[in-house]
Amino acid sequence: MALSIGIVGLPNVGKSTLFNVLTQNKSAEASNYPFCTIDPNVGIVKVPDERLEKIASISNPTKIIPTTIEFVDIAGLVSGASKGEGLGNKFLSHIRECDAICEVVREFKDGNIIHVNGKIDPDGDKETINLELILADLATVTKSLDKVAKDAKSGNKESVALRDLLTRVKEGLENEKAVRDIDMSTEEKLSIKSLSLLTAKPIVYALNTKDISKDLTELKAKWGDDIIALDAKMEEEIASMDPGDQKEYIEELGLDSSGLDKLIKASYKLLGLSTYFTTGKEETRAWTYKNGFKAPQAAGVIHTDFEKGFIRAEIIKYNDFIENNGEANCREKGLIKTEGKDYVMQDGDICHFLFN
């Protein structure tokens, strides 16, 4: 599933450094001046999942293939972007193409790295970016509302309902409320999906700080629960180490995983994604699916023919597979369940799909 997270933030907050570490790629220039990232850099990042290695240690496959997520490094935003300031229009169009947003907010102090506003102010930086996204959405909604209002004069029920919804959304935006925070039904959200509103996208905050053990309770009360604290420069150092040394260094820091891994997992979760596995002698592989997918839809992630010709799925729960040392023992103990078209996939399911 090709789903992407757009990395946004003010200039010089660590976006490109973070992107480089995420993708193990130095192609995104990290320079000490605004707008050094002009065109979005795209990187495919593997989602860390220790379950994959444990399954593979039992199946002993030729290949191990993790699931992935796409990150897009987007040019730095400045105040006035919604009116075209800086690289505003290009910046906003790139965000519209992403499924979710990772907003990097700078807390670290470094006299050698200028701040576009001349001071370190995480709350202020976060509000600057969010306000620009709100203003851009307000312009989009106002334009759409003007057109829909004309259609609604005919008394068409759908046009009237859409007019009323857009009026409510417009009022929320005027009160500096993100679209994702406006109370709407699933049907209402679908009816305005085509507008690709920026503040309707789910968002995770990456606080770029030297204090990686920072208590985020106060920030979460203001910003919401989706916040990760990390030190982009330190993550760059960790990424340059051998895998074994990485693990040892992370443990020395008193952490259970790197900030980078936490961010990737948080982004994956933000998109409402989960993982199922397939395993055998040829390969053990992780597959991404949307929460709520039924077995045929999940099978379609592998190939559309699997969904079209779906017959049934054989499912082994991850814990059963590990505790019983693989498929053969699970089959012997009756732990492989045969599921039909209405089975709702569960995170960690190990699957074998039958189709015609």
- pLDDT means over runs of 10, the chain (356 residues): 83 85 58 40 86 96 92 68 48 82 89 70 90 91 92 87 96 96 94 94 94 90 93 88 83 82 89 95 95 97 95 98 97 97 97 94
Residue 188 lies in a domain: no
Residue 298 lies in a domain: yes
> How far, CA to CA in Å, does 161 sit from each of 137, 181, 259, 278?
19, 20, 44, 45
Quick check: 14 and 106 in contact, CB under 8 A? yes
Residue 125 lies in a domain: no
- Smallest CA-to-CA distance from 21 within 2, 51, 41, 49 is with 41
Residue 306 lies in a domain: yes
Residue 318 lies in a domain: yes
Domains in the chain, number: 1
- Smallest CA-to-CA distance from 79 within 126, 16, 15 is with 126
Task: Give me the amino acid identity at 296.
Answer: P
Structural domain span for residue 303:
292-355
- Smallest CA-to-CA distance from 317 within 334, 294, 300 is with 334
The pLDDT score that the predictor gives to residue 88 is 45
| Tokens representing residue 24 in the block | 């193990």
Most distant CA pair in the chain: distance in Å? 69
Residue 316 lies in a domain: yes
The pLDDT score that the predictor gives to residue 22 is 83
The pLDDT score that the predictor gives to residue 83 is 56
Task: Write the CATH number for 349.
Answer: 3.10.20.30
Residue 320 lies in a domain: yes
Residue 203 lies in a domain: no
List, edge to edge, every strand of the sheet that includes 350-355.
63-65, 283-290, 273-279, 350-355, 310-316, 337-339
The pLDDT score that the predictor gives to residue 86 is 44
